[in-house]
A = this chain, B = another copy of it.
Amino acid sequence: MNTETLANLFKALSEPIRLRILALLLEKGELCVCDLVGTLNLSQSVTSRHLAYLRNNNIVTARREGVWMYYQLTHYAQSELKPLFNFIQQNIAHNKEIQTDLANVGKTARC
């Protein structure tokens, strides 16, 4: 991996909203966009753009099921980035915001 690639990875993770999405996917495995919109309490547009950013950086992948799009971590992310994600989880798992997010998944789905 060259420094530019690694820098781009960190840039993809340098946004609170994207870290919250990541934390949710790490715990839940796969989530629908409407779950994320409801849980994160963000506009559809903002949520979708951040997901696109993560997609473009090969961190998440999307699967369509009817009208719904389900997102999960890419195989690449799940394997190669595991140590990095462990670091992230250990550092934000106890955060109140993250715990609230996790508690809200499923209860706040918008669709």
- Residues in A lying within 8 Å of B, measured CB to CB: 1-4, 6-8, 10-11, 13-16, 18-20, 83-84, 86-88, 90-92, 95, 97-98
A16 contacts across to B, CB distance below 8 A? 2-4, 6-7
Report the bound CA distance from A91 to B13 in whole Å. 16
A14 touches B11 (CB 8 A): yes
A8 contacts across to B, CB distance below 8 A? 14
A97 touches B3 (CB 8 A): yes
Instruction: Count this chain's copies in the assembly.
Output: 2
Q: At the interface, is chain A mostly helix, strand, loop or mixed?
A: helix
Report the bound CA distance from A88 to B7 in whole Å. 10
A90 contacts across to B, CB distance below 8 A? 83
A19 touches B7 (CB 8 A): yes
Contacting A6 at CB < 8 Å: which of B3, B11, B91? B91
Report the bound CA distance from A6 to B95 in whole Å. 11
Report the bound CA distance from A87 to B14 in whole Å. 16
Contacting A2 at CB < 8 Å: which of B11, B13, B95? B95
> Given known contacts A83-B87, A86-B83, A87-B87, is B7 in contact with A13 (CB within 8 Å)?
yes
